[in-house]
Chains A and B, each alone.
Chain A
Amino acid sequence: MYGKPLPVVPVTHEKTGAFEYITTRKDELVGWARKFSLFPYPFVTACCAMEFMAVSASAYDTDRFGAALPRFSPRQADLLMIVGTVTQKQAPILLKVYEQMCEPKWVMAFGVCATSGGFYQNYASLPGIDKIIPVDIYIPGCPPRPEMVIDGIMKLQETIANGRHLIVNDTF
């Protein structure tokens, strides 16, 4: 059919039955798969970027949580990490990036400026990104310690694992 016959591999070993099947809920299965394949989009605007680099690099290594490979297109990402202060002038850009992301998507406010505006309360800065987009996990700190970021990622993973997933329906 495809021009070349598939190789026939003789089955010589005995099946042990050790991991033949598992029972689970579909939601848990999808959640388990999703929580280890977070593709972050770093929306990096300010000094928290240094801490983001520290937590991404080898000593702390967010790859252990499946959240290491940054996608620099929001269309390929499912975790939006807002790292740093967002100004009023940048707010439309942030909203556009968020709207371009496909479901499922999660948002992490990294650092106190993204969380609440931090010590900025003036004409220029947005007092927390949750004023314009929904946020799933807040990480306080100025800047947050890498341990806090890892804790935040693990809490987000927990939320994903225990959450409902839209692709789970009658035909799935």
Chain B
Amino acid sequence: MHAPSMIDRLQAELATFGAVVVSHGTVVCHTEPPQLLGAVTLLQSQFAFDVFLDVTAVDWPNDALRFEVVHHFYSTTNKIRVRLKSRVPEAAPIVPTLRPLYGSAAYMERECHDMYGIQFDGNDDLRAILLYEGFVGHPLRKDYPKQLEQPLVPYRF
């Protein structure tokens, strides 16, 4: 499907940023927030990862490092997908922004900030994108009450 040597080289290079495994054909790297920019720069400059697919998060309410911020990248040249996972604590859910590297990060980081309250250090435009002004809390966190509504128009009954 893809050149094995490229995957092997990528795994070896990514190993300097954290533990690397291959899961369902996707290279997964468990990295740390301070290492994130280095890892992404490596992907973009050395391995032609030109598509920033998504940034989202996973909430592990019982863990000390509660949030797992997940970045996905794709290389249209090498046909490889990479997933970077970095854990952040609830008290300071901060990861560096990828805006200088990928323009689309500006929007996807806003969505991740809406839903999970992750702060993206360096992205100064984290206004609500899917939610609305005045919405309190982050609805995809596990401790958000699942039926809590915050209506913009007062209900008739």
Contact = CB atoms under 8 A, between A and B. Distances in A.
Nearest to A132: B153
B100 interface: no
Contacts of A23: none
Nearest to A117: B149
B4 interface: no
Contacts of A123: 135, 139, 144, 148-150
B153 A95 contact: yes
Query: Chain B interface residue count: which class?
Result: 10 to 19
Q: How large is the interface on A (under 10, 10 to 19, 20 to 34, 35 or more residues)?
A: 10 to 19
A131 B157 CA distance: 6
Interface in B118-147: 131-132, 135, 139, 144, 146-147
Interface string A116-156: 00000111101100111110000000000000000000000
A122 B156 contact: no
A15 B29 CA distance: 93
Contacts of A126: 151
User: Which secondary structure dominates chain A's binding surface?
Assistant: loop
Contacts of B155: 131-132
Nearest to B146: A122
A57 to B, nearest CB: 33
Nearest to A96: B153
B115 to A, nearest CB: 10
* For the complex of A and B, 9 pairs with smallest distance between CB atoms: A123-B139, A91-B153, A131-B155, A132-B153, A89-B132, A95-B153, A92-B152, A91-B152, A121-B147
Interface of B: 131-132, 135, 139, 144, 146-157
Given A95-B153, A121-B147, A123-B135, 14 more contacts: A88-B132, A88-B149, A89-B131, A89-B152, A122-B139, A123-B139, A123-B144, A124-B139, A126-B151, A127-B149, A130-B156, A131-B155, A132-B156, A134-B156
